[in-house]
């Protein structure tokens, strides 16, 4: 986790230490000891199921909620008790919260009120150029698409050059195609502006695609925080393995760097002895047709998805899921031989 900083590491932009927040009406803590850092210019996604405490964590960072305990440091300064407007942090709300009676340009310039008019004009033009909306400066918000409204909201926030922007489910009002397009745009805009960001999402694909690091939350705690590929390839718990993509959870008997499992002998990513639990991604399992009564599995279900296929296979006394290419078709009932590629992930012993 991120609590330990080697003396040589650069100071993080944001450090969140052991935040706890109870709500009087709720049984457990909404946020229960969350700690993480955000580096300058880094995009961190808070990912987890509904109710795990993502939004509350974001609100604690933004100052819209006060923690029962814990601290929030921005560039080393304790901002835990500061009002939101005194933190110098930008926000993009889920509904964008544009001012309906102001033009696009006036919305983008809203936070710059009080500065010389020529400076505001130049900054608004620069921001609209950056988000690709220079030609829509005089439009009113209701004359824009959802994606365009979102870019205005982002331009309004970035106009103030905040070191950190908080985004709460920023794509939830967009349709699926728009969401795909917009998320890469938002990433590029944040990178170009040099602002760090914390993004709250329950969409794992969005978190993996957009963030530099993904923090997976459960029950108010951050279970794992790492680069997208690292969290996906090396989940440290069954929850993370199952929440981020799909995983087959197998029991096995380990002997060093391999284990005997219902799929046969498989290589594991760390050395262990005795009873273990392992996570195997569906794409790590390959199938081949078995002769006669051979093989070690029987196809019980399949889903053709165009670019790939999902197969459910009964083997020993468990069902496993395999993801394979679109070309080899195995009808239900076919006897197959299963094999696993790459070392599989050791989740725990015993």
Least gap, CB of 21 to ligand ATP (angstroms):
8
Q: How far is CA 95 from CA 147, 174, 295, in A?
A: 11, 10, 54
Instruction: Count Cβ atoms within 10 A of the Cβ of residue 336 and give its class: 0-12 exposed, 13-18 middle, 19 or more buried.
Output: buried
Burial of 211 by CB count in 10 Å (0-12 exposed, 13-18 middle, 19+ buried)? buried
Question: Whole-number minimum distance, CB 100 to ligand ATP, in Å?
Answer: 25
Token code pair at residue 274: 């005795």
Contact 57, 29 (CB under 8 A): no
Contact 144, 116 (CB under 8 A): no
Q: Which is nearer to ligand ATP, 55 or 309 (CB)?
A: 55
Residue 68 C-beta-side C-alpha neighbours within 13 Å: 11
Query: By three-state DSSP, how is residue 226 classified?
Result: strand
Tell me the CA end-to-end span of the chain in Å, nearest whole number: 24
Q: How far is the CB of 172 from ligand ATP (least distance, A)?
A: 10
CB of 44 to ligand ATP, least distance (A): 15
State which residue, 54 or 87, has the beta carbon closest to ligand ATP: 54
DSSP-assigned beta bridge partners for residue 309: 304, 324
Q: Report the alpha-carbon distance of residue 285 to residue 342 in Å, rounded.
A: 9
**Interacting residues toward ligand ATP by CB under 6 A:** 23, 25-26, 30, 48, 50-56, 202
Structure tokens at 207: 């978190």
Shortest distance, CB of residue 247 to ligand ATP, whole angstroms?
Answer: 22
By beta-carbon proximity to ligand ATP, the closer residue of 26 and 227 is: 26
Q: Which is nearer to ligand ATP, 207 or 268 (CB)?
A: 207
Beta carbon nearer to ligand ATP, 65 or 226: 65
C-beta closer to ligand ATP: residue 72 or 131: 72
Q: How far is the CB of 1 from ligand ATP (least distance, A)?
A: 19
């Amino acid at each position: 986790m991120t609590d330990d900083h080697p003396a040589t590491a650069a100071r993080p932009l944001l450090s969140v230490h052991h935040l706890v927040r109870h709500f009087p009406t709720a049984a457990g803590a909404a946020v229960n000891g969350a700690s993480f850092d955000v580096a300058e210019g880094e995009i961190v996604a808070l990912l987890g199921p509904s109710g795990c405490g993502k939004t509350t964590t974001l609100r604690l960072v933004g100052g819209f909620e006060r923690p029962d305990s814990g601290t929030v440091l921005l560039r080393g300064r304790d901002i835990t008790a500061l009002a939101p407007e005194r933190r110098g942090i930008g926000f993009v709300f889920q509904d964008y919260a544009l001012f309906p009676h102001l033009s696009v340009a006036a919305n983008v310039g809203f936070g710059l009120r009080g500065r010389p008019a020529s400076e505001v004009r130049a900054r608004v033009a620069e921001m609209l150029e950056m988000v690709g909306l220079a030609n829509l400066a005089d439009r009113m918000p209701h004359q824009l698409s959802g994606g365009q409204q979102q870019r205005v909201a982002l331009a309004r926030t970035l106009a103030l050059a905040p070191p950190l922007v908080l985004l709460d489910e920023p794509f939830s009002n967009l349709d699926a195609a728009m969401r795909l397009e917009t998320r890469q745009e938002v990433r590029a805009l944040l990178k170009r502006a040099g602002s760090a960001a914390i993004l709250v999402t329950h969409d794992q694909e969005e978190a993996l695609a957009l963030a530099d690091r993904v923090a997976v939350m459960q029950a108010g705690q951050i279970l794992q925080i790492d680069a997208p590929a690292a969290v996906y390839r090396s989940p440290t718990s069954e929850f993370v393995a199952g929440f981020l993509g799909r995983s087959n959870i197998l029991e096995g008997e380990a002997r060093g760097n391999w284990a005997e499992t219902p799929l046969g002998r498989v290589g594991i990513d760390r050395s262990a002895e005795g009873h273990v639990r392992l996570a195997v991604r569906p794409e790590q399992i390959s199938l081949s047709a078995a002769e006669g009564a051979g093989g070690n599995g029987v196809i019980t279900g399949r889903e053709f998805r165009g670019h790939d296929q999902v197969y459910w296979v009964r083997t020993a006394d468990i069902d496993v899921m395999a993801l394979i290419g679109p070309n080899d078709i195995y009808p239900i009932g076919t006897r197959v031989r299963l094999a696993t590629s790459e070392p599989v992930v050791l989740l725990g012993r015993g």
